Amino acid sequence: MKKIPVGISSCLLGENVRFDGGHKRDSYIVGTLGEYFDFRPFCPEVAIGLGIPRPTVHLVKINRQIRCVGGKDTDNDVTERLQVYASQEQAAFADLCGYILKKDSPSCGMERVKVFTGGQPRKEGVGIYAAEMMRNNPLLPVEEEGRLGDANLRGNFIQRVTIFYRWKQLLAKGLTVNSLMTFHTRHKLIIMSHADDRELGHKLAGITKDNLAAVAGQYISQVMALLKIVVNRGNHVNVLQHIQGYLKKELSADDKAELCGLIERYRNGEVPLIVPLTLLKHNFRKSPDPYIENSYYLSPYPQELRLLNPL
């Protein structure tokens, strides 16, 4: 599989672009995710000319507006410069399928960035560059490096990146009614594990060549929003049992008992998701089903076998 293009805060790759001339290299991002993602680094503070090293900036609430100003020189307001840079980089963002931001940064933080009001900080802000970048690219999967330490959030981000990558491949080949329906069919079980997908089915039921572009735009917006919902064990158990139903006539009593027992052990947190998935794949090799065989749920992307083991 070709590496997926993903934007990232430069310091997380080990580039010495921090205010103090240092970096925040993340070994998991570089060593593991780097095997699958083609990282495209961005450092907005350097890009707008703040230099290395440089005085710190932070977020301040002024007249009900959040501004990014110098920590010691509040007259040094770089808010608009960061926003303009984010907008100017739209062409560079066009082929990205995800973005990893530096937590707590007044320029790049995704959430809970300190905002000072009357000299008192509250973790309620979003980095100025990050906010503009996300506003301009609402479909783009975004996460920050601190949250990637959580296995569920990490798996969710990787899944969203990979599905968005497939969507861009679909568009590059030329979207048709048939290709859109195939895309949905192959991802249906994944979407089901996140939320009720019946509204999507109703939306696609009325698709024609004439309204293809409009429906496709609405469809992918809704899909990417649903995929942000982090799946829990209960959601996965429901889908696993749904898939098991396709084997009800093929499995012996012993095989069925083994599969049911393994799904229950997953529900109780005794085994990771990969264990019941592997047994299901084994059973479907003996009793193939075209729908299940083409679904990405059992094999959503090659690297997931490694990256989702903790789930």
pLDDT 10s digits, 217-246 = 999 999 999 999 999 999 999 999 999 999
Q: What is the pLDDT of residue 305?
A: 39
Q: What is the DSSP letter of 296?
A: S
CA dist 46 and 20 (Å) reads: 12
Q: Can you give the residue ranges of every domain in the chain?
A: 4-149, 151-227, 233-307
Start-end of H helices in 127-286: 128-136, 151-173, 177-194, 198-205, 212-227, 233-244, 253-267, 274-286
Q: Are strands 4-9 and 99-101 parallel, antiparallel or unpaired?
A: parallel
Compute the distance between CA of residue 235 and CA of residue 227 in angstroms, rounded to an integer. 13
Mean pLDDT calculated for residue range 94-100? 97
Residue 284: the pLDDT is: 93
Mean pLDDT score, 244-258: 93
β-partners of residue 25 are none
Full-model pTM: 0.92
Residues 6+ apart with CB under 8 A from 59: 66, 67, 68, 106, 113, 114, 115, 116, 125, 127, 128
Q: For residue 189, what pLDDT is reported? A: 95
User: Comparing 308 with 45, which gets the higher pLDDT?
Assistant: 45
Radius of gyration of the chain from Cα atoms? 22
Summarised one tens digit per residue, pLDDT across range 163-214 is: 999 999 999 999 999 999 999 999 999 999 999 888 998 989 989 999 999 9
Average pLDDT rounded to a whole number, residues 118-130: 95
Map residue 35 onto helix, strand or coil.
helix
Mean model confidence pLDDT for the chain: 93
What is the structure's pLDDT at 133?
98
